[in-house]
Structure 1
Amino acid sequence: MPDWSYHTLFKPLLFRLPGRLARDLTLQAIGGLSRLPGGTFVIRTMGHMELSPLMESELAGVPLACPVGLSGKLDPQGTAHRALAQFGFGYIELGPVTVRPVVSTAPIERAVEEEAIVYPDGYENPGADAIAARLRKGTRHRLPHFVRLRPMPGSSPQAALEEQQELLAKLAPYAAGFFVDGLAEGWPSNETTAYLAEVRRLISTAAPGKPVLLYLPQPISLEELRHEDDTVRSFDGVVLGDAQPEPGSRRERVAGGSAALGVELHKVRALRQALGPGPAIVAGAAVHEPQDAMALLEAGASTVLLHSGLVYAGPGLPKRINEAIVHSRITSSSAHMQPSQPQGQLPPSPSFWANWGWMCLLGLGMIVGGILAWLIAMTSVLLPYDEAFLEKSRSEILRFKGHLLHFMSHDRITLAGTMISIGIFYHQLAKHGLRYGLHWARTAVISSCVVGFSSFFLYLGYGYLDPLHAGAAAVLLPMLLLTLRGLKDLPSRKPPGVRNDRIWLRAQWGQCCWVVMGFGLGIGGLTICFVGITDVFVSTDLTYLGLTSAELTAWSDKVIPLIAHDRAGFGGALFSLAVALTASALWGVNQGEGWLWHTFLWGGIPGFASGLLVHFHIGYTDFVHLLPVYAALLLYIAGLYLTYPYLVGRHKNPEGV
């Protein structure tokens, strides 16, 4: 459920449902997908979250792949933890966990204007036994768990200590560290201090060497913390809670917004100044866009915990935060290591002949080949070796059925336009992607090339080998092999978008249009391939020709194999284009990437022009036959319109991001 589908399709539907039902449906859906064979691969593919070594961090000594955590309240049952682990998180909080289950069936409410979630019971959780049983079975992901230990509601300090002993006995083997709750239980200050000290001792005995952080409820003030200074310093760090309890009840409100962020930033700065550089600080509140996380990390937070921001900003939020972190770290490192080099300027890209230039040449070769194929298809249509295979001349075909030659030209012109579009995409992806080490661009190009070169074998389905296509493949294949030498993954040179503004939200709709178009073209390409190697014609084709397959075979038993070769070749090329286009739409849409917008613009024109103009030129204008082309064209234009401000327009990123 990437952002482009979440904000356009799923969020409007989910927000019409009761909060608890919407949460459960979402978690069950993505959790169920992750448990299917290949499910996690699909999730990773849709989001393409690549964790760079530059994101590596630590939380109180525990190594993390990135400094972004998942709040325990979002998925208390762990239904979708395996799926969520693919989103770009570095660790998962479990909890609050109490020794026995705390169940609530009251509604979970949404305050949309404040981007808040209101829970009916802040203690709600499945209990230690259920969580321990789930962890014992295995989570099938590698993220560390930090367990938030909380007393049962209404427990006395003495009873709570006994509960903590039981909790530790059940959960210590599975925890990378602990968050200790207790400051919000309403106990006298001296009893609270004694309780926290004793819990700290119990953990050091039950789980020696594992870090213990003190959980600070949101209402606690800095003045109150000063009275607990010795207690705070006895822990390995602190966790700033994200929930605001409602007076007189166990209801809790988790919200974002500038006011909540301002309070959180003030606390982080004050705590970092008071505690010094050593102890960890986890900022758990108010992260609803990448800039919120960046501000908290720059203020002194060690990590951030995502909660309500994931619901309102979308499941792509951790990835967007990680991209902002990588860009910030790479530019800071570059400026530090090379003081004379302007900040943000990365080392020069590899030379043209190192690898990426060969893909540029392959793309240019596809463009030139497509133009030549278009010129031939618009004039003679058939080459001499085609006529030799058919044992029929062009004039004989015209005398038999003029529409037959027009039909052949329509297949070949659409193939030529598709080749030109592929060439434009390859050239652009190489020049602006491979050249700068963008992993997603490499995946897009290589996947598309593998499909394209493999589709050559479809030409052989009816025993017809096209020497021109074979020669082109023989020339272009070495360029692909030379491209594969020494490719490296590097962070993007462009600063990522860090705001959930109107332009970003509009781009999600445009991205959705392009992705749907890409999948549609892929289905169309596979369908054409299948038709080309089986029935060859669809019903509208035969209606246009005014012939049956039997009549064509009776006239020449080689005409259908020739047409099948053209159809299979076009289907393979269309699918290859769809792979490059869909991958670019899924992974490449990032603020300021104007080259990608121009790639879609110029890369789409040849394909649509050839597909539409030739049909009208030869009079093959059946509406049902052309309906997929019309739909794809509308999605293409809508995508260009909606993404233009985000990709091409000028934007100001906050300083330092």
Structure 2
Amino acid sequence: MPDWSYQTIFRPLLFRIPARAARGFTLQAMGRLSRIPGGTFIIKTLGHVEPSPLLQRNFAGILLPTPVGLSGAIDKEGIAVKAISQFGFGFVEIGPITSSPIKSDSPIRIDPASESILYPCEYENLGAEAALHRIRHPKHRLPQFVRVAAASPEAGPNEAAVELQSLAERFMAEPNVSALIIEAMNTYRDDSKSAKLLLEQMSSHLVENASITEKKPLLLYIPLDMPDSVLKEIAQAADPAVWSGFVIGDSIRTADGAVLTGHDGRQACMTKLQTIRAYASGSPVLFASAGVHEPADALTLIAAGADYLLLHSGLVYAGPGLPKRVNEAILYDRLARGEPPPTPSFWTHWGWMCLLGVSMMLGGVIAWLIAASSVLLPYDESFLDMARSQVAAINGNLLHFMSHDRITLAGTMLSIGILYYQLARHGLRYGLHWAKTTIWVSCGVGFPSFFLYLGYGFLDPLHAAAAILLLPMFLLAMRRNPDRPNHKPVNLHNSKVWRRGLWGQLCFIVVGASLCIGGIVIAYVGITDVFVPQDIGYLCTTRDALDLANSRLVPLIAHDRAGFGGALLSDAIGILIVALWGLQQGARWQWWTLLWSGSPGFIAGLSVHFAIGYTDFVHLLPAYFVLVVYIAGLILLYPYLMLKERDC
């Protein structure tokens, strides 16, 4: 459920049903997907969230792939953690965990206007036993940070300390627990005396049991609505020899005992970060979990002193792509402070792909001119043992029909050439992983498709020569080009332009997927039946009649169809991957690439049908549909791709 489907389709539907039911449905759906064979691969493919190695952090000897963590409030039962862990998170929080299960059936309420969530029960969880089972059998490879809490409001500091000590000892003994978060201050957030007493008792116990503190880092949980006067005393009293850092919560208690979390908590979180930095001893590590709903929020909290982030309500309102966007923003913010690396010379690798693209464009133009004039080449006539005039005599529409296949192929070649040239110049040149993957997969389909027609006994020498010429260019282009991080500005805000851009992204994903299906169908028809009913209707003949006229006519037509289907599939895969992974705000070249690479295919495919009178509505309906979606995608993406954020 990436952002392009969440924001456009699923969120509007989910927000119309009760929040608890919507949460259950979403988690169950993602959990089931992650459990099927290949499910996690599908999630990764849709989102392309593999984080850059430059984002890795070392926290107390724990290697975190990214500084962004998943809040335990998102999936308290661990139903979909295997799926969610693929979104670009660096660690997973489990909790709050209490000794006994705490259940609630009261409705969860959301307020889209303020982007907030109201939970009726602060400590709803399955209890320590269920949490231990989940921790011992993780469905992911991310570090697990466990948050334990003493939930009884009637308990005094002594009773709360005993309960927390028991939980701490229990979970610290677990090998799969990377760090422990102690939620000790919630009950006494307004009572500095009791809060300090509880902190002293916890610290004393942990010091006495040095084996606990030596095994795992301990983090002290700070309620978001703790008064600053109390926080100052707690920060000063926290022993840095015991506490590795602080986790600032994201919830504010209401008068009726519920808790509210949302975007508005960011300002309070910033204040807490600054207070701790000012009054705490040593250099504590700070985790911020309030109000990160867009990448700009993450950068603001980091600037205020946060070392790590936890995402909660932002995932609900921004979508599952938020971790990836935050990671990209953090990485860009870091890279923007230094000098970008020098770009490699033209002949190092990317220039060869530019030449391949230019060659495809030149081949497409030549193929179009031939298909619009003589149609048949000398080796075609030699294969048929017939001159062009003799072929025309068999059926008045036959040459037109062959021309229509070859012109559509020529338009597709132009589209591929433009796409490859642009990907090489703006993506491969800078070592962008998604651009390299696009070329790898597209060419991996395109080169073998040249030979789909060999089963009919016809070897097209021109196609074979093209493959022999272009393959070395492809191999030279993909050599010695390691992945490099993106140095271009990234999207920071959940603006209207961003939301409209997601609709445009969805349109191009539909275009790419539809063309993939079309390419597969055309290639399959080309190597099997060769003709569809509308083709036979246009020709006013049958396949058997063509076989009787010349037994090599159908193989020649099949060669054109299979070649066009393979080329269309190669082109479609390129468009689809660009739409899935590559679109970035302000990347003007991407909009022009989508326009320039798409136009030749549509112009060739539709113009030739009308030129030869092959205008069957059913036959052209898929092309009409894809054209409408393509134009809509260009319109919707224009502000996102053509304007930088500061211009919006």
TM-score of the pair, normalised by structure 1 = 0.94
Q: Distance in 2 between matches of 1:399 and 1:516?
A: 42
Q: Distance in 1 between matches of 2:530 and 2:238?
A: 75
Equivalent position of 2:278 in the other structure: 273
Provide the secondary structure at the position in 2 that maps to 1:180: strand
| Residues 246 and 285, structure 2, Cα contact 8 Å, conserved in 1 | yes
Give the 3 Å change call, closer, same or farther, for CA 626–204 of structure 1 in structure 2. Answer: farther
Equivalent position of 1:228 in the other structure: 234
In the alignment, is residue 412 of structure 1 matched against residue 406 of structure 2?
A: yes
Equivalent position of 2:396 in the other structure: 402
Equivalent position of 1:215 in the other structure: 221
1:297 to 282, 288, 302: 302
Q: Distance in 1 between matches of 2:281 and 2:296?
A: 24
1:237 to 232, 245, 250: 245
2:530 to 536, 548, 560: 536
Q: What per-residue deviation string (whole Å, max 9, x for no partner) do you get for residues 557-588 of structure 1?
A: 21111111111101100000011111111111
Q: Distance in 1 between matches of 2:130 and 2:535?
A: 61
Provide the secondary structure at the position in 2 that maps to 1:93: strand
- Opposite residue 131 of structure 1, the aligned amino acid is A
Provide the secondary structure at the position in 2 that maps to 1:614: helix
Equivalent position of 1:89 in the other structure: 89
Q: Distance in 1 between matches of 2:271 and 2:170?
A: 37
Equivalent position of 1:557 in the other structure: 551
- Opposite residue 289 of structure 2, the aligned amino acid is G
Provide the secondary structure at the position in 2 that maps to 1:213: strand
- Which of 540-549 and 465-474 deviates more? 540-549
| Residues 149 and 183, structure 2, Cα contact 8 Å, conserved in 1 | yes
Equivalent position of 1:547 in the other structure: 541
In the alignment, is residue 255 of structure 1 matched against residue 262 of structure 2?
A: yes
| Residues 495 and 653, structure 1, Cα contact 8 Å, conserved in 2 | no
- Opposite residue 618 of structure 1, the aligned amino acid is I
Q: What per-residue deviation string (whole Å, max 9, x for no partner) do you get for residues 512-553 of structure 1?
A: 100111011011111111111111111111111111222222
Equivalent position of 2:147 in the other structure: 148
| Residues 533 and 564, structure 1, Cα contact 8 Å, conserved in 2 | yes
| Residues 231 and 275, structure 2, Cα contact 8 Å, conserved in 1 | no
Q: How does 1:593-604 map to 2 (within 5 A)?
A: 593-604=587-598
In the alignment, is residue 469 of structure 1 matched against residue 472 of structure 2?
A: no
Q: Distance in 2 between matches of 1:574 and 1:207?
A: 61
Give the 3 Å change call, closer, same or farther, for CA 94–155 of structure 1 in structure 2. Answer: farther
- Opposite residue 182 of structure 1, the aligned amino acid is A
Q: Distance in 1 between matches of 2:419 and 2:279?
A: 54
- Opposite residue 506 of structure 1, the aligned amino acid is R
Equivalent position of 1:426 in the other structure: 420
Unaligned regions of 5+ residues in structure 1, if any? Answer: 335-344
Shift of 1:489: 1.2
Q: What per-residue deviation string (whole Å, max 9, x for no partner) do you get for residues 586-636 of structure 1?
A: 111111100010000100110000110011111111111111111111111
Provide the secondary structure at the position in 2 that maps to 1:406: helix
| Residues 242 and 285, structure 1, Cα contact 8 Å, conserved in 2 | yes
Shift of 1:134: 2.0
Q: What per-residue deviation string (whole Å, max 9, x for no partner) do you get for residues 353-378 of structure 1?
A: 00000000000010011111111100
Identity of aligned residues (%): 51
- Opposite residue 537 of structure 1, the aligned amino acid is F
In the alignment, is residue 309 of structure 1 matched against residue 317 of structure 2?
A: no
Q: What per-residue deviation string (whole Å, max 9, x for no partner) do you get for residues 97-135 of structure 1?
A: 111111111111111111001111011011111121122
| Residues 71 and 94, structure 1, Cα contact 8 Å, conserved in 2 | yes
In the alignment, is residue 370 of structure 1 matched against residue 350 of structure 2?
A: no
Shift of 1:272: 1.5
Equivalent position of 1:339 in the other structure: none
Q: How does 1:122-161 map to 2 (within 5 A)?
A: 122-139=122-139, 141-154=140-153, 156=155, 157-161=157-161
Give the 3 Å change call, closer, same or farther, for CA 567–276 of structure 1 in structure 2. Answer: farther
- Opposite residue 88 of structure 1, the aligned amino acid is G
Q: What per-residue deviation string (whole Å, max 9, x for no partner) do you get for residues 463-501 of structure 1?
A: 211000000000000001101211121111211010111
| Residues 236 and 279, structure 1, Cα contact 8 Å, conserved in 2 | yes
Q: Distance in 1 between matches of 2:267 and 2:235?
A: 23
Give the 3 Å change call, closer, same or farther, for CA 265–138 of structure 1 in structure 2. Answer: closer
Q: Distance in 1 between matches of 2:105 and 2:142?
A: 30
Q: Distance in 1 between matches of 2:608 and 2:210?
A: 76
- Which of 149-158 and 182-191 deviates more? 182-191
Q: Distance in 1 between matches of 2:250 and 2:213?
A: 26
Q: Distance in 1 between matches of 2:525 and 2:212?
A: 66
Q: What per-residue deviation string (whole Å, max 9, x for no partner) do you get for residues 197-250 of structure 1?
A: 44443475446331111111111021111232443344211111101111232x
